[in-house]
Structure 1
Amino acid sequence: MSKPHVVSAQSEPAMAVEETQPARVVEQLQLDEEGRNGVISSLPRVDGGWGAWSYLATATALETLVWGMANSYGVYLDHYTILYSTSTGLLPIIGTVAMGIMYLLMSPLSLYLTTYPLQRKITMWIGLVVMFSGFIGAAFASSAAGLVVTQGVLYGIGGTLLYCPTTNYMFEWWLNKRGLASGIMLSGTGAGGLVMPLISNALLQKYGKRTTLLSIGISYTILIALLIPFIKPRLPIPSSSSSSSRRPRPKVNWGFMRRSAFWLLWAGVLFQGFAAFMPVTYLPSYATALSLSPTIGTLTIALMNLARVPGQVIIGHLADKMSPRKLILLMAIASGISVFAGWGAAKNVGGLVGFSLAFGAFAGSYTALFSRFIAILNRDDPHLPAILYSLFFLARGIGSIASGPLSSALMSHNSSLDGAKGAYGVGEFGVLIIWTGTGMIMSGVGAGYKSYKVD
C-alpha cells in the first residue's frame, strides 16, 4: 500500500476503496496486538455472535434510559413554565445543559478511559450515583436555578459517566457492520424519547414535579444497576502491578486534525447541533400557542422519537453500504424541507404530526452517520475511533449548549414575524423555524470532504 495522499472530492471510486479499508486494517492491528499476548483463540468474534449481540442489546437499553429522559425535557418545560413563571428565561437552558454536558464531556472522558481502561466500570457506577443525586435534587429544587444545577448539570455529568464507557466498547465488538450496530444502539434514544414523554407527562399531570422525579429517579437507578454488569469489553484489558492500574498512554495519530475532511464533517455536525434541539424543546409550547391540549404537545415529541427508531437503524445500515456524501446531502435537504415546509405550515394536529415524523426520521437519525465519518478519517489507528466519535459528540454538544440561549434570543418579542403565513406568524416561533431549517441545510457542508486515495 502506497502512502496516502489527498484527491478531489469527486473521486468516488477512491472514496469507496478508502471507506472499506480502515476496518480491516484496524482489525488486523488488534489481532497483532492480541497475538503478542497469545489470546487470539479465546477472543469472541466481531460483528456477530452472543458476545456482540448481548453487548449491543444492553448498550441499547442503557441508551434508551439515559437519552430518553434528556430528550423528554420539552414536557417538563411546558410544566415548569407554569410552576416557575418568574424565571422563564432560565427554563429552556435546563434541557440543553443536560444534553450539552453529555456531548461536551465525551471527548476528555473518552481519552481518559482509553488510557485507563480499568476505570471504565467504576466510572459507570459513579455516574449512576451522580445521576440519582440529580433526580433527588431536582425533585426538591425550589427554583429554576436549582433545576439547572440538578436536572441540568448533575444529570448531564451522570449520563456522560454512564454512556461514554458503553460507546468505547462498540469499537471492539463491531467493525464492518459498525454502522448498523451504531444505528441500533442509537435507536434507543428514539425509543426512550417515545416512552419517557408519555410517562413523564402522565406523572406530572397526576402527581406533580416532586413525585414524578423521585419515582423516575428510583426506577432508573434500579434498572441501570442491573444493566452495568453486562457492559463488557471484547478485548482483554492488560493488568498492571501498579496501584493506579494504568497502562502506557496510547500513541494516537492526531494528523486527522490537519485534514480539511475532519473540519468539514465536524462543522456539519456543529451546524446540525445548533438547530436540531429546537423542535424537541419547543413543540409542546408551540402546541400550547395553537390552543391545543398539552397531550398534543407530548404526542409530537413521542412521534418524533418514534420515527428515530427505524430512522437510526435504516440510516446506520445505509452508512455501511452507500456513499456517506450522498447520505449527508440527503439528510440535510430532507431535514431542511421538513422544517421549512412541515413546521412552517403546521397549524393543526395533522400538520404537527407530519412534521414530527419527518423531522424525527431524518434530523433525528443524523448521529447514525458518525460511524462512517470515522471510517473516512481513520486508516490504521485502533485507538482513534472512540476519540473521533467523542469529537463529533463535542461538536453536537457545543450546538446543544448554544441552542439554549440562542432559542431564548430568537423567541424574544423583537424577533416576532407578525402577519406571516402559516406557523411563521404564530407568536415568536417564526424566526425559530427559519433558524432551525437553515441549520439543517448547513449540516450538508460535510459532503464536501476529500478522501484518501488507496492504490
Structure 2
Amino acid sequence: MPQSMDLSRSPLRENLESPKSHRITESQPIEPSSELSEKDVPPKDSEWNTRSCLAIIGAFSIMFCSVGFINAFGVFQEYYAKNMLADKSASDISWLGSFNVFCMFGGTFAAGYLNDIYGPKPLVYGGSITMLLALFMTSLCKEYYQFFLAQGFLFGIGIASVLLPAFTIAAHYFTQYRGLAIGIVVSGSSLGGVIWPIALNKLLVQVGFGWALRIVAFIELPLLIIGCLSVRAPIQKAGHVKAKPDFSCVKNPVLILLATGLCLVYFGLFTPLYYIEPWALSLGLDSNFAFYTVSIVNAASLFGRILPGLLADRFGCYNVAVITAISSGLVCTCMVKATSVAGIIIFSLAYGFTSGAIISLQGVCAAKLVPPTQFGVAMGFVMSFLSIAGLVGPPINGQILEVWGYLGMSLFSGLLMIVGGLIILVARLKLNKQILAKA
C-alpha cells in the first residue's frame, strides 16, 4: 500500500495534472489590480475617448474658422465690386479668392512634411496667428495689391498651416471610424459656409468693412484657441522623436491616380457654389432668396460630409468616393434645368450632399495607402494637386460663362468631375480588382 501511495504521486500523475493546472491558469479572467488602474483598461470602443473627441472638436473649430470662412468669398466678391474695388473687373476680383485657394492647397505639402516631423502643435499655433493677423490686415486694406497680399496670400498660408493638422489628427486617432471622424472635422467648413456669409452680409451693412473683419477676427480668436489646445498628438506619440518622412509614397501609382482624379473633380467642384446665386438672379428670382442659395448648398454639404464618411467606414472609402464624384458631376450638369425656387432648392440640396463627401473622403483615401508616419506627406501631396484647380478653375469657368453661358459652364464642370470620378475608379481597381470588395 505505501508503494501504491508513492505511485499516485509519481511524475506520471504530475504530468497528467499539469495541463489541467495550465488550462485553469490560462482561463482565469484578468481583473484590474492595484497595478492596473481602471483607466488603463481599454474600453470596448477605444477610438472614442476623451482625448480623441477633444481633438475632433478642436479640428472642427479650425475648419469652421479657415475653410468655412473661404466659403463666404462670394460676399466679398459682391462687396468689392460695389465699393473699394469698383474699378476692377469681376475676373480681377475673383483672382483674390482663387489665389487664396491656391495658397491653401499649395502649402499643404510643406505643411504635411513639417507635421510628420514636429507634430501638429507648431503648425496650428503658427497658422492661427497668421490667420488672425491676415484678418486684421485685410480690415485696413484700400488698394488691390493690399487685398491680394493680406486676404489672398497671408490668409491662404495661414489656412495651409492649420488644414493638414486638422485632417491628419483625425486619421491618427481613428482607424475603424476614420471616415466618420474626418467627415465630422470637415463638416466644420460646411457650418462656416452657412454662418459666415449671413454674418458678413449683416456686419458689412451695420458696422462697415473694417470693423466687420475685426469682429470676425475676435469671433475666431476663442475658437482657434480651442483648436490650439485640443489638437494634440495621441499619447503614444507624445515625446516620440519622429524620423524624417519617407517620400516614397509620392511614387505610389494609386496615390498619383487619386490626386489626378481629384484635381479634375476640383476644376468643377466649386462652380455651383460660386454661380448658383448669379444663376438665380439671372432667372429674375428674389434677391434675398438668391443670397441664401449658397447657405443651402453648404447646409446640405454638412450632412454630405458626415453620412458618406460613415458609409465609407462600412463599404470602403474609394467605393464611396467614386460614387459621389460621378454623382456630383451628373448633378452639376443639371444646374440650368433648375429654373424655379423649388428647382434651385432641390438642386442645391442634391449638389451640396454629393459634393460634400468628396472633400471629406480625399484625406481618408490618401491615408489608406500609407502608414501613420506618412499621413501628412500623402495628404499634402494630394492637396497640392488641388491647388492647380483652385487657381485656374474659377477663371476658366468664368471665361466659359462669357462665351457659352451657364449651360456650357455647367456641362464643362460636370463632365470634368465625371472624368475625375472615373480616374478615381481606376485607382480603386488598382488597389483591389474585386468589384464588390471593400476598398
TM-score surpassing 0.5? yes
Written as runs of structure 1 = structure 2, the 5 A alignment for 1:52-451 is 52-83=52-83, 84-88=85-89, 89-117=91-119, 120-236=120-236, 239=239, 247=241, 249-252=243-246, 254=248, 256-341=249-334, 343-374=335-366, 376-378=368-370, 381-412=371-402, 415-416=403-404, 428-444=405-421, 445-449=423-427, 450-451=430-431
User: Matched residues in 1 for 2:270 and 2:242: separation?
Assistant: 39
CA offsets 1:380-410 (integer angstroms, 9 cap, x no match): x331223212222222222111223323322
Instruction: Identify if the C-alpha distance between structure 1 residues 165 and 296 changes in structure 2 by more than 3 Å, giving closer, same or farther.
Output: same
> 5+ unaligned residues in a row in structure 1: which ranges?
1-39, 241-246, 417-427
Matches within 5 A, 1:3-22: none
Root mean square deviation of aligned Cα: 2.6
Q: 1:339 and 1:239, CA in 2 relative to 1: closer, same or farther beyond 3 A?
A: closer
Q: 1:143 to 1:429 in 2, by over 3 A?
A: farther
Distance 1:324 1:113 in 2: 23
Following TM superposition, by how much is the alpha carbon of 1:324 offset from its aligned partner in structure 2, in angstroms? 4.1
Verify the 8 A CA contact 1:56 1:181 in the aligned structure 2: yes
Q: Matched residues in 2 for 1:433 and 1:286: separation?
A: 11
Cα 1:202/1:130, change in 2 over 3 Å: same
**Matched residue type, 1:441:** I
Other-structure match for 2:33:
none
TM score, norm. by length of structure 1: 0.79
Deviation at 1:293, TM superposition (A): 4.2
Q: Deviations over 1:5-42 (max 9, x none)?
A: xxxxxxxxxxxxxxxxxxxxxxxxxxxxxxxxxxx969
Rounded Cα–Cα distance in structure 2 between residues aligned with 1:79 and 1:317: 39
Deviation at 1:359, TM superposition (A): 1.0
Query: Deviation at 1:286?
Result: 2.8
Q: CA deviation at 1:268?
A: 1.2
1:81 Cα deviation (Å)? 2.0
Q: 1:238 offset after TM fit, Å? A: 6.3
The answer to whether the 8 Å contact 1:46/1:172 transfers is no
Deviations 1:360-385 (A, max 9, x none): 1001220222244235523xx33122
Structure 2: give runs of 5+ residues left out of the alignment. Answer: 1-38, 435-439
- For 1:431 and 1:145, the matched residues in 2 are separated by 32
Alpha-carbon deviation of 1:335?
1.0
Where 1:140 maps in the other structure, the secondary structure is: coil
Q: Give the direction of change, closer, same or farther, for the CA distance of 1:359–1:52 in structure 2 (3 Å limit).
A: same
The structure showing larger relative contact order (alpha-carbon pairs under 8 Å, at least 6 residues apart) is 1
Q: Counterparts of 1:286 and 1:400 in 2: how far apart (Å)?
A: 21
* Structure 1 residues 345 and 205: alpha-carbon distance in aligned structure 2, compared to 1, 3 A threshold: farther
Tell me the distance in 2 between the aligned counterparts of 1:309 and 1:130.
Answer: 26
SS of residue matched to 2:233: coil
Aligned residue identity for 1:382: P
* 1:398–1:79 distance in 2 versus 1, CA, 3 Å: same
8 A contact 2:100–2:156 mirrored in 1: yes
Identity among equivalent positions (%) equals 21
Q: How many residues were matched structurally?
A: 390
User: In 2, Cα distance between the equivalents of 1:400 and 1:150?
Assistant: 18
Aligned to 2:139, the other structure's residue is in SS state helix
Distance 1:60 1:133, change over 3 A: same
Q: CA deviation digits over 1:167-187, x for unaligned, max 9? A: 332232111211111111111
Deviation for aligned residue 1:325: 4.7
Larger Rg: 2
Shift of 1:165: 2.7
Q: Distance in 2 between matches of 1:448 and 1:215?
A: 47
Of stretches 285-294 and 267-276 in structure 1, the one that deviates more from structure 2 is 285-294
Asked if structure 1 preserves the Cα contact closer than 8 Å seen for 2:305 and 2:357, the reply is yes
Structure 2: how far apart are the matches of 1:230 and 1:115? 19
C-alpha distance in structure 2 between counterparts of 1:62 and 1:362, whole Å: 23
